[in-house]
Amino acid sequence: MNPALNIHADARLTAIRYPISLLSGYLRFTAMLRYLAWWLLFEICNFRRLFGRGPGRVQYFAFGANLCPAVMRERRIEACEVRYFTLRDYGLRFDHPAARTGCGYASAEPAAGESVFGLLYTLSERDAARMDFYEMVPIVRRYRRTWVEQDGERLYFYQTNRSTPDLKPTTEYLGYILNCLATHPDADPAYREHLAAIGTETPGGYVASYLGEPPVFNPRWLNRLSRAYHKLSLFLFFNLLRRVSLTAPFIRH
């Protein structure tokens, strides 16, 4: 084949691929709109809660930060009923990547013969919908609700969509779990000691992949710009949008 034809063909392919790459990058850049959409829909959920809990009730099994009463109060979610519960044939894993490097949050993964110890909350459907936002289920899709039936109870818990190995909890986060296990009737001392011996991690910088891996660009400087943009967006999300609510402060317990 004529080398000149090859050169022209490569040039045409480059001319096609480059604008497609830019378009893909642009669509990913608009992911910041997902954070804004999260905030707007969360405000709508909070507004509905201002008019009461509503009639519906669901059973939610907590085994992470939501074991802490202070966290529940901060989120202005008050359970109708709380009791200890043990989820069988699942194992506690710290495989859910946090917004900052190196740290992981809890998830329950299928594991025959293992158990996860926690609290079973009876929540109003309106508070359960608000909890979904705190756990990044709608829009951001970091966790998902997983429904199970056990001992005549139909309940759900949050399971990660981003299972990642070699993560460690922060000292504060692990403390929430250990404090609950200290009084949990089913948690034996050996299990508590096992969790207490788990290494912890100090949070690093914000990640660029919270909403998924950023697009890959050519030239490289555009890659650096893309990653910096995603980190800045995540910083603004956690330090502004998640903290500023026009409606949540008016929710009464």
Q: State mean pLDDT over 235-249.
A: 94
User: Could you give the domains of the chain?
Assistant: 31-205 (3.10.490.10)
**What is the C-alpha to C-alpha distance for residues 127 and 129, in angstroms, rounded to an integer?**
5
Task: Rounding to the nearest 10 degrees, give the CA dihedral for residues 246, 74, 66, 139.
Answer: 10
pTM, to two decimals: 0.86
Scored b (16 or more CB within 10 A) or e, 97-106 reads bbbbebbbbb
β pairing state of 81-97 and 57-62: unpaired
pLDDT tens digit sequence for 8-21: 444 444 444 444 44
pLDDT tens digit sequence for 129-141: 999 999 999 999 9
Q: State mean pLDDT over 159-180.
A: 95
H/E segment holding residue 141 = none
Distances (CA, A) of 42 to 108, 128, 235: 25, 12, 18
Residue 103 confidence (pLDDT): 95
Q: CB within 8 A of 177, min separation 6: which ones?
A: 63, 64, 67, 92, 106, 169, 195
